[in-house]
Amino acid sequence: MTHPAQPKASHFINGEYVEDTAGTPIPVIYAATGEQIATVHAATPAIVEQALSTAKAAQKAWARMTGTERGRILRRAADIMRERNHDLSVLETYDTGKPLQETLVADATSGADALEYFGGLAASLTGEHIPLGEDWVYTKREALGLCVGIGAWNYPTQIACWKGAPALACGNSMVFKPSETTPLCALKVAEILIEAGAPAGVFNVVQGMGEVGGALVTDPRVDKVSLTGSVPTGKKVYAAAAEGMKHVTMELGGKSPLIIFDDADIDNAVGGAINGNFYSSGQVCSNGTRVFVQKGIKEKFLARLAERTGNAILGDPMDEATSFGPMVTENQMNIVLGYIEKGKEEGARLICGGRRADMDGYFIEPTVFADVTDDMTIAREEIFGPVMSVLDFDTEEEVVARANDTEFGLSAGVFTKDFTRAHRVIGNLEAGSCFINSYNDAPVEAPFGGVKASGVGRENSKEAIKHFSQVKSVYVRMGDVEAAF
Ligand code: NDP
């Protein structure tokens, strides 16, 4: 019997599901059991061509619609997503293995927020009038054209919406390629947009590995590439886009600092560290994986952290009581287990976890290392799994310098009751998305993105509009033209 997660076909182009079984089969594995639940096929060159030509053809008419009309469609799509939140969350859980307890509140709901927010903004995208005496200049905010979105595997619904919603609000069309690991959810986003009234061809989904992404990025018809992925992939995609002088948004990895001063509320700080390391089993780009704890509260903090981490419920992700799911793939699990071994070898003190859980699926116990030093591999490289490194510090000056000593710059957090210090520390940290007495909140209203190797551009908020549109300026002369000859 066909599994309910099996999509009707692999791709969604020009308003309908499309199949081409000549493409390499991609098995979809449910991370909680290791069972194959679906198969899709990578896009063949014919499929890539169909998607790009369709999106190119659909864009101009879409951009000519009023912002109010485009926005209404996006907002209708948001409503449909919310009505179907349960089914979409179950699909997200099949796609990623994340527990339903999370997917019910963080995926289709976040996607719907993006559709609603950018749907609301669509009608307000206007230019300026700049008076110059008799003459004047006016500006218009125009769509970029055909955009490509490429997603990572941790938030397949959310990433499709965070890219698709602002792109479409501005009058662009999009071809979206999900990660080969999680190909299912973006198809539903495409289906829902059509149901909400989007013209066929404005949002298309094609499956495939890096080479399909590469074919999309290098096509001369493409005006912009928005990638969520790792830094090495980001460098390749950015370089390929530069060759064609295309716009880019790069949402890449991190090794973010979370700084806890000894006046902090311990339970809140522990909560922040848990949210910043163990949500989605640690597979979150903005995670605060270097937890700097001031020496005065270190042992108290570690004791409370170990106690609360022991309350994580590993188990069937479809059971709403489960609060901690598996790694997305066997490969990712092995990468993370490799880092845990490195941590042990390099002399970090294991506080809890530290091994594969004794159950089916790709579960790793939530793991905390203490006495981590700045030069250890687990403190320098992005692990993308449930491995928290706790480092000690003495002074503010010292911790800020150590926190910034990384190629990454996605996020940063600080816990303290001293607000002057909180703002001063955040002001000195090299990071794009920061938190004070909190961690990992990502409301659509707030800009999201990194500095340094963690990325270029911003998603969400009004900032995203700037990255999916461009300004045309028009000088209007009211009198005669003067010329030298
Ligand atoms: P990857 O960088 O491996 O892949 C990202 C996407 O790019 C995938 O769809 C991948 O396809 C595709 N891709 C790979 N190579 C190319 C290429 N040469 N040209 C075009 N596309 C290509 O990342 P992961 O999927 O492993 O995701 C984990 C990473 O994503 C982590 O580093 C994490 O920090 C980052 N991330 C960043 C976020 C942010 O917003 N800053 C949010 C979430 C994750 P395929 O995988 O099918 O080969």
User: For every residue of the chain, which 3-state class applies, written as one string?
Assistant: CCCCCCCCCCEEECCEEECCCCCCEEEEEECCCCEEEEEEECCCHHHHHHHHHHHHHHHHHHHHCCHHHHHHHHHHHHHHHHHCHHHHHHHHHHHHCCCHHHHHHHCHHHHHHHHHHHHHHHHHCCCCEEEECCEEEEEEEEECCEEEEECCCCCHHHHHHHHHHHHHHCCCEEEEECCCCCCCHHHHHHHHHHHCCCCCCCEEECCCCHHHHHHHHHCCCCCEEEEECCHHHHHHHHHHHHHCCCEEEEECCCCCEEEECCCCCHHHHHHHHHHCCCHHHHCCCCCCCEEEEEHHHHHHHHHHHHHHHCCCCECCCCCCCCCECCCCCHHHHHHHHHHHHHHHHCCCEEEECCCECCCCCCCECCEEEECCCCCCHHHHCCCCCCEEEEEEECCHHHHHHHHHCCCCCCEEEEECCCHHHHHHHHHHCCCCEEEECCCCCCCCCCCECCCHHHEECCECHHHHHHHCEEEEEEEECCCCCCCCC
| 237 pLDDT above the threshold of 90 | yes
| Closest alpha carbon to 272 in 148, 122, 390, 399 | 390
Which tens digit of pLDDT belongs to each residue from 153-168? 999 999 999 999 999 9
Beta strands across the sheet bearing 135-143: 129-132, 135-143, 469-476
What is the rounded average pLDDT of the residues 459-469?
Answer: 98
Q: Which atom of ligand 1 is nearest to the CA of 253?
A: 34
Active site residue 251: yes
For the chain, give the percent of residues with pLDDT over 90: 100
Q: Which residues approach ligand 1 with their CB closer than 6 A?
A: 150-154, 177, 179-180, 209-210, 213-214, 217, 228-230, 233, 236-237, 251-254, 285, 382, 384, 410, 450, 455
pLDDT value for 368: 98
| 317 pLDDT above the threshold of 90 | yes
pLDDT value for 1: 79
pTM: 0.97
Where residue 115 falls among pLDDT bands split at 50, 70, 90?
very high
| 219 pLDDT above the threshold of 90 | yes
Mean pLDDT of the chain, nearest integer: 98
Q: Are 480 and 435 in contact (CB under 8 A)?
A: no
Which tens digit of pLDDT belongs to each residue from 130-155? 999 999 999 999 999 999 999 999 99
Which tens digit of pLDDT belongs to each residue from 387-438? 999 999 999 999 999 999 999 999 999 999 999 999 999 999 999 999 999 9
What is the separation of C-alpha 74 from the centre of its chain, rounded to a whole number of angstroms? 20
Which tens digit of pLDDT belongs to each residue from 332-382? 999 999 999 999 999 999 999 999 999 999 999 999 999 999 999 999 999
At 93, give phi and psi (nearest 5°).
-65, -40
Active site residue 459: yes
The protein residue with its alpha carbon nearest to ligand 1, atom 32, reads 230
What is the rounded average pLDDT of the residues 95-124?
Answer: 98
- Rounded distance from Cα 255 to ligand 1 centre (Å): 16
Question: Residue 107 and residue 193: Cα distance in Å, rounded?
Answer: 16
Where residue 190 falls among pLDDT bands split at 50, 70, 90?
very high
| Closest alpha carbon to 324 in 260, 274, 393 | 274
Which tens digit of pLDDT belongs to each residue from 325-344? 999 999 999 999 999 999 99
Active site residue 285: yes
Which tens digit of pLDDT belongs to each residue from 291-310? 999 999 999 999 999 999 99
The protein residue with its alpha carbon nearest to ligand 1, atom 20, reads 213
